[in-house]
Amino acid sequence: MGTLEIAKTASLSNATMAKPHSHDYYELYFLTEGNREVFLDNKMFSVKENSLVVIPPFSLHKTEGGTFTRINVNIHPDRLSEQQRKFLDGCAKTPAMELNERYRDTILRLLNEGAEIQTMYTLDETRDEYLSAVVKLLFLYLSLEHNPTLPAYGEERCKYVSSEMLKIIHYLNEHYNQPVTLKELCERFFLSKASLCKKFKSYMDCSVMDYILELRLRNAQKMLQTSDKPIADIAIACGFSSVNYFRNTFKKVLGISPLKYRKEQKPFTV
């Protein structure tokens, strides 16, 4: 079975995730105290306490900001019913939301109990049984009332990522499967190569080309797990110049070949 965990984390100082990352499970990010900027795929959200961000599998994301307390519910799609997956995928279209006041206290109490169960029980079967019950109740209360959405910054200015960088990130997310070059980006966004590389590195803590590679690998993982397309077709669809380059890069970065990755993953639909 895939991931199922509820984890509570508190930070007493400014905390910044080094660079965007992704994983093969849903992350329900409940911010219970503080304010955070959440970067998700190509948008930024200003998230306040008592809010939720739904992060789908394989979506690149990171968080920035000051002191906070949050509770994460991490759950692999194979742990969910088709109805639950559809509910989360619907939420992910407008992923940041405030918890409705009517059931907020109940949801927060459930989350805290789930976090206690996570640390209290060491036997996987016992812990999973209790956590599954918590998650079922959580879905029930989340679906009972409309939770007001929080708007994305889009191309407006926000505290941590400039409008200019958001435009570049959005372009990369839309064109990662094409032969994007630094020269092309510089001409399109009227930046020198030095300026582009420096600004991107300062915001994303990785180079432009590393970010493109991460996008390609993340989408390749998703296709390997959710489709039966040949590996050669996936390589081309994700922007790799050849299937050999794809195989070598995938294994170098992820430590496993694409074929073995596909065999070891339980297929699911998104």
- 248: CATH: 1.10.10.60
Give the pLDDT score at 157: 46
Whether 157 is in a domain gets the answer no
Instruction: Domain of residue 21: give its range.
Output: 4-144
Residue type, 231: I
Residues 226 and 94 in one domain: no
Inside any domain, residue 28: yes
Do 254 and 205 sit in the same domain of this protein?
Answer: yes
In the prediction, which pLDDT does 12 show? 76
pLDDT at 268 over 90: no
Q: Is a pLDDT exceeding 60 seen at residue 4?
A: yes
Residues 70 and 173 in one domain: no
Residue 145: its pLDDT value, please? Answer: 84
In a domain, 151, yes or no: no
DSSP classification of residue 239: T
Pair 137, 62 in one domain: yes
CA 177/CA 219 separation, integer angstroms? 9
Whether residue 152 contacts residue 43, with contact meaning beta carbons closer than 8 Å, is answered with yes
pLDDT the model gives residue 154: 53
Closest CA to 45 of 146, 131, 151: 151
Q: Give the rounded percent of residues in the chain with a pLDDT score beyond 70.
A: 92
Domain C-terminal end among 90, 111, 144? 144
Same domain for 61 and 94, yes or no, is yes
Position 97 confidence tier, pLDDT thresholds 50, 70, 90? very high
Residue 152 falls within a domain, yes or no? no
Beta bridge partners of 8: 71
Q: Which residue has better confidence, 114 or 121?
A: 114
Q: State how many domains the chain has.
A: 2
Give domain status of residue 13, yes or no. yes
With respect to residue 236, please indicate whether it lies within any of the assigned structural domains: yes
Q: Is residue 164 scored above 90 in pLDDT?
A: no
Residue range 179-208: mean pLDDT, rounded = 92
Average of per-residue pLDDT across 147-171: 73
Do residue 114 and residue 240 come from a single domain?
A: no
The residue ranking higher by pLDDT, 108 or 204, is 108
- Asked whether residue 174 is assigned to any structural domain, the reply reads yes
Q: How many CA atoms lie within 13 Å of 139's alpha carbon, on the beta-carbon side?
A: 18
pLDDT band at 66 (very low <50, low <70, confident <90, very high): confident
Boundary (domain end) residue, out of 78, 111, 144: 144
pLDDT attached to residue 203:
83
Lowest average pLDDT, out of 82-91, 145-154, 182-191, 232-241, goes to 145-154
Query: Looking at the structure, do residues 16 and 86 belong to the same domain, yes or no?
Result: yes
- Please tell me whether residues 28 and 114 are part of one structural domain: yes
Residues 83 and 187 in one domain: no
11, β-bridge pairs: 68
pLDDT tens per residue across span 17-62: 667 889 999 999 999 999 998 989 888 898 999 999 999 999 999 8
Q: Could you tell me if 61 and 190 lie in one domain?
A: no
Residue 155 has pLDDT above 50, yes or no: no
pLDDT of residue 123: 73
Does 69 fall in a domain? Answer: yes
Contact criterion met (CB below 8 Å) for 163 and 156: yes
pLDDT at 179: 92
Q: Are residues 168 and 103 in the same domain?
A: no
Q: What's the average model confidence in pLDDT over 95-106?
A: 93
- The per-residue pLDDT of the chain, averaged, comes to 89
Confidence (pLDDT) at 156: 46
The pLDDT tens digits of the residues spanning 196-245 come to 999 899 888 889 999 999 999 999 999 999 899 999 999 999 999 999 99
Cβ pair 170, 164 in contact under 8 A: no
Q: Are 67 and 12 in contact (CB under 8 A)?
A: yes
| Domain co-membership, 113 together with 170 | no
Structure tokens at 189: 């966004």
